[in-house]
Chain A
Amino acid sequence: MTALELRGIDKRFRAVHANKAVSLTVARGSVHGLIGENGAGKSTLMNVIYGFHRADAGEIRVQGKPVTIDSPQAAIAAGIGMVHQHFMLVENFTVLENIVLGAEGGRRLASGLAKARDELTRLAREYGLEVPLDAVVSELPVGLQQRVEILKALHRGADILILDEPTAVLAPQEADQLFRLLAHLRAQGKAVILVTHKLREIMAVTDRVTVMRHGAVVAEVATRETTPRELAEKMVGRAVLLQVEKGPARVGETLLNVDHLEVRDLHGVPRVKDVSFALRAGEIVGIAGVAGNGQSELLEALAGTLQPSRGEIRLEGRDLVREQLDPRARRRLGLAHVPEDRLHMGVIRSFSAQDNAILGYHDRPAYNRGLLVDRTAVRSDCEQKMRDYDVRPPNPKLSISAFSGGNQQKLVLAREIDADPRVLLVGQPTRGVDIGAIEFIHRRLVALRDAGKALLLVSVELDEILGLADRILVMNGGEIVGELARAEATEERLGLMMAGIKAEAAS
């Protein structure tokens, strides 16, 4: 039985043809995956289904009947619920207030809230969705906030549930919980659409999968009849390597030495506790850990944007902490940094690509002519970087925010690598980056290693750590709980260590 059917959905935004005659059929009691690279048209399609955009052509059928969806209200009425990637929650409201918003059941709140409370207790029992109804949303962990979103949709009687990149913000354990919940919803006869670009999720929970590329559907298959490799190729439109090929590391002298480092946050709470390690030329050291376990603070302390409260950071013998060297001074010494949060620390969103391509190095003589910036040099330098790193579109004057995440990241990498650092700190290099670009970025990082540089890689993606690192340090609660050589590391062992179980016990 079909829950949702799209026929020939077509949508243009001026010059961009975002959806080209897209058809999609989702059965009741199934989880349907929708994958595609950023910009493939997935979000547009979902926004059409949820009434944010109106399709230029095409038909939407819900439970077999044609419907007109011109507003979220109409979508809700048709039994469609959506969990957005960025939660649509009012942060200073309680869970209960968030859930009833828009479905209050009367002008006065008291009776509606009481009724909703009963109904939600029932739903929570039925689906195993326990949520503290009177907690303020901003105080809940992201995993629970997501449950609130799901409850919100179910409370409105959604039979078709769309989840847009639901695991982007979740820790691995939280993601597993979500998948169990999705299986439960499927068993209850709901239709679930899972929008993602992570192949592992598609393989783990979906029944069927639709692949989109450049606004069109390029394949629809049963999940058990396909492979991640095949899906990746369909998404990108060519063969891709999911795993970078690399030879053994040729390790040289120690370049960076971290000794008993401690970093405290604004409230004086230690975020990095007594961390010591060495980074040598010609190797990639990966730092694994669930997000929020001190990796970010460690990275920032090394880059010079956070001041450690104790400990030493020595770069080829010079103590960066005692000398109080700022990030610029550190860059000059050959310590480059690709920040974790690209949009807040890596680029300035309102600047052009060419201006972003020299940030932090803008005082180099090559970019200046006397007091003035040498615009021609800056542009040709950016053009060169765009050629070398395959940044598309290759237009240095375009605002950086007009580029996709992958292309922004390639430009940031180009900036830091071209500066010829001795040590490169890299945080989440492929967050929000397409598969095609991931492959490219990984190859570049390995090439940098082979050129005798030292790389410190912080990533919450275990696949990435396992694929790139020669040695792996695991952080939990601000401490390094263990170190594994790549050969000894498995997903299970790392997972246990990330959960705080020490290396010896995990082996």
Chain B
Amino acid sequence: METYTLIVLLLAATIRVAAPLLLAALAGMFSERSGIIDLGLEGKMLGAAFAAAAVSAVSGSAWLGLAAGIVTSVALALLIGYACITHRGNQVVAGMAVTIMVAGLGPTLGLAWFGLGGQTPQLDGPGQRFTAIVWPWAKTAREAPFPGLLYAELLSGHNLLVYFAAALVPFSAWVLYRTRFGLRLRAVGENPQAVDTAGISVTALRYQAVIISGVLCGVAGTYLSVAASSGFVRDMTAGKGYLALAALIFGKWRPVPTLGACLLFAFTDALATRLQGVALPGVGVIPVQFILALPYVLTVLLLAGFVGQAKPPKAIGSPYGDK
């Protein structure tokens, strides 16, 4: 019974950790499928997290915060797009540059505006955060361990953005495989020349992809500062953007496998949190640092050995057009 509750709570935590990862990974999927390496995921998320928390704190509306997060992230995405698509810049450099810039810019602006050491004010007013939505009868269902507890913890009790992320998986798959836009997107990441000769603008298509990535990163960042916690703190993305990129590769640039990868990484993360300070039989207490490194060690192992060959879109990383 005790173990069962623990496992359910662990899974619930997994979902909460997975949501931003998934949003960012799907953002990366749209960008990379179009042939643009998305190393700016981390930066776009962080920028959105800051903007969302700041606007929500000032305006008192989580929704305005979300809008600000999306606008900021899209602006950063367009900056990357301008460098990489219009000016054929190096995609890795552009993405990293934006990430580094935002890492410094957020806290600096935060300090100037709120004077709280680079953080944003605590979001504790009504409507300033996206809070858990409790489904009907969840409270009473909790009494029955199975399936009541599953219903109460896994289905019910998450904030709106988690459900959005979940719905995004089938929707992305539909867009990618069942629509004209998806066909063109997949084509432009494989062979932009084929798209060009078919009379479609490679530039427009890639900008669209980059903007979608911006929107989704905006939601992911907002989730971090306005839903999962109550305010922005320095470096709050903590490498999630890179982890999302790893999940995307692990998921072979496909929506459903990417969901699986995100859940796996989130599970190790949730597990690591649970295991802190817990004495394991025969091992004793594992040092916190080691446990925290677990998701990343797992990533390296998975990518190195177990995934097999992850084939990226063929034209990824290479600018298109006349020199």
Q: Which A residues are closer than 8 A to B by beta carbons?
A: 50, 71-73, 75-77, 82, 84, 88-93, 97-98, 100-104, 106-110, 112, 152
Contact = CB atoms under 8 A, between A and B. Distances in A.
Given A73-B200, A90-B194, A102-B200, 18 more contacts: A72-B197, A75-B199, A77-B199, A84-B197, A88-B198, A93-B187, A93-B190, A98-B194, A100-B183, A101-B184, A101-B194, A101-B200, A102-B184, A102-B199, A103-B198, A107-B181, A109-B179, A152-B198
Nearest to A152: B198
A101 B178 contact: no
A100 B181 CA distance: 12
Nearest to A106: B180
Contact of B196 (A72, A110, A112): A72
B299 interface: no
Contacts of B187: 90, 93, 101
A88 B186 contact: no
Interface string B81-108: 0000000000000000000000000000
B193 interface: yes
Nearest to B200: A102
A73 B183 contact: no
A104 B102 CA distance: 40
B178 A104 contact: no
A114 B245 CA distance: 36
Given A106-B180, A107-B181, A110-B178, A76 B199 contact: yes
Interface in B189-211: 190-191, 193-200
Interface in B126-184: 177-184
Contact of B195 (A50, A76, A102): A102
B44 to A, nearest CB: 27
A90 B192 CA distance: 9
Contact of B198 (A102, A108, A109): A102
Nearest to B311: A92
A89 B180 contact: no
Contacts of B198: 72, 76, 88, 101-103, 152
Contacts of B274: none
Contact of B180 (A71, A90, A98, A107): A107
17 contacts: A71-B199, A72-B197, A72-B198, A88-B194, A88-B198, A89-B191, A90-B187, A97-B183, A100-B183, A101-B183, A101-B198, A102-B184, A102-B199, A102-B200, A107-B179, A109-B177, A109-B183
A73 B196 CA distance: 9
Contacts of B199: 71-73, 75-77, 102
A108 B190 contact: no
Q: Is the interface of B mostly helix, strand, loop or mixed?
A: helix
Given A97-B183, A104-B183, A88 B197 contact: yes
Contacts of B179: 107-109
Contacts of A97: 183
Contacts of A82: 197
A108 B191 contact: no
B34 to A, nearest CB: 13
Contacts of B181: 107
A104 B181 CA distance: 10
B200 to A, nearest CB: 5
A73 B191 CA distance: 17
A112 B180 contact: yes
A71 B200 CA distance: 9
Contacts of A75: 199
Among B180, B184, B186, chain A packs the most CB atoms within 10 A around the CB of: B180
A323 B318 CA distance: 44
B193 A108 contact: no
A77 B199 CA distance: 9
Contacts of B183: 97, 100-101, 104, 109
B191 A88 contact: yes
Nearest to A107: B180
A91 B314 contact: yes
B314 to A, nearest CB: 7
B190 A90 contact: yes
B212 to A, nearest CB: 16
A88 B178 contact: no
